[in-house]
Amino acid sequence: MSHAASLEHGQHGHAGGHPPTSTGLDHKKIAVWAFIGSECMLFASLISTYLIYKDRSIKGPFPHVACNPPQCDVARPAILDIPVTSASTFVLLMSSLAMVLALAAVESKDLPLPAGAGAWTRALRSSKLWLFMTALLGTVFLMFQAYEFTSFVHEGLTIRTNLFGSTFFTLTGFHGAHVTAGVLWLLTLLAIDFKRGLGPNDAIHVDIAALYWHFVDVVWIAIFTLVYLIQ
């Protein structure tokens, strides 16, 4: 199996061959953009539902400071931990940076290293390093989320507790599932890179993974802003 990473209808050069595409873009790129368009509506539905149901939970825990004395007997602290989530948001943003570097490294794989290139330049050109870093940072983000979910359950908030629990866990859980799928995708690319090396001909495969990864990142920025920051 020589074309280990060939996903669907690649541009490998057969005699007879394929006619050039109408737009000059690879089919996969257009398909992923269409997929992202669809995902926008998916997350729009989830986020809208969260916002519609905001402040409509009959009982706590609530996302932000629900009430303080004298409105209620005991002050109920916010369940959302903004500092911790800011850290996980930073991690996810950095993973996008690593993703950019991974794609650049794959695209420039065939270029000779400049004379006297230092360790840093060599590191920048390592697609394995940056694919691994992207997957690692994604995994760290998921661990933050696992920690967050666990602590919420300990504080008495489950998906069944109230409307906030239902909408919050579904929304962020869907995002987490997308990150998980992205991590698996990146690890698959990394395995192929180790097996036979990814070169400029494979750039499209890394490119579409990167598109997806950046999209998932952008969605998180929307969630972080709308769910965590805006009270």
Partner 1 sequence: MATTAAAPAYAGTHEHATSGIWSWITTTDHKRIGVLYLFTAMFFFLLGGLEAILIRAQLHGPNGQLLSAEAYNQMFTMHGTTMVFLALMPLSAAFFNFLVPLQIGARDVAFPRLNAFSYWVYLFGGIFINLSWFLNAAPDGGWFGYTPLTTLQYSPGLNQDFWVLGLQILGVSSLAAAFNFITTIVNMRAPGMTMMRMPLFTWNTFVVQILVMLAFPVITIALIFLQFDRFFGTNFYTTAAGGDPLLWQHLFWVFGHPEVYILILPAFGLISETIPAFSRKPVFGYPVMVYATMLIAFLGFGVWAHHMFAVGMGPIGDTVFALTTMLIAIPTGVKIFNWIFTMVGGAIWFTTSMKFAIGMIALFTIGGISGVMHASPPADLQQTDTYFIVAHFHYVLFGGTIMGIFSGIYFYFPKMFGRMLSEKLGLWHFWLTFVGMNLTFFPMHFSGLAGMPRRIYLYDAHQGWDLYNAMSSWGAYLLGAATLIGVYNFFVSMKRGPLAPADPWGAPMLEWSIPSPPPDYNFAAVPKVTSRYPLWDVKHPELTTDVPHTREGDKHIDVDVAGKHVADTHVGNPPNRSAELAQASTVVHPTARQLGIPMPTPTAKPMAAAFFMVTMFGGMLFFHAPGPDGNKPLALTVILGSALAMVTALYAWFLTPLEDEHH
- CB nearer to partner 1: pick between 96 and 167: 167
| Nearest by Cα to 88 from 230, 226, 223 | 223
Residues 6+ apart with CB under 8 A from 31: none
Nearer to partner 1, 27 or 214 (CB): 27
CB nearer to partner 1: give 35 or 81.
Answer: 35
Among 11, 51, 53, 153, binds partner 1 (CB under 8 A): 53
Structure tokens at 172: 């962020």
CA distances in angstroms from 221 to 59, 99, 160, 175, listed in the order given: 28, 17, 26, 11
Least distance to partner 1, CB of residue 124, Å: 28
Q: Where are the alpha helices (DSSP H) in 3-80?
A: 27-52
| Residue 170 phi, psi (nearest 5) | -65, -45
* DSSP H or E segment with residue 138: helix 127-154
Give 13 or 116: the residue with its C-beta nearer to partner 1: 13
CA distances from 51 to 39, 171, 187 (A): 18, 11, 34
**For residues 31 and 36, what is the distance between their CA atoms, to the nearest angstrom?**
9
CB of 49 to partner 1, least distance (A): 7
39 in contact with partner 1 (CB under 8 A): yes
Quote the least distance from Cβ 142 to partner 1, whole Å. 18
- Residues 148-207 binding partner 1 (CB under 8 A) are 159-160, 162-163, 165-167, 170, 188
User: Which residues inside 3-22 make contact with partner 1, applying CB under 8 A?
Assistant: 3-10, 12, 14-19, 21-22
Our CB check for partner 1 shows the closer of 144 and 164 to be: 164
Structure tokens at 107: 């695209």
- The site for partner 1 (CB under 8 A) is made up of 1-10, 12, 14-19, 21-23, 25, 27, 30-31, 34-35, 37-39, 41-42, 45-46, 49, 52-53, 56-58, 159-160, 162-163, 165-167, 170, 188
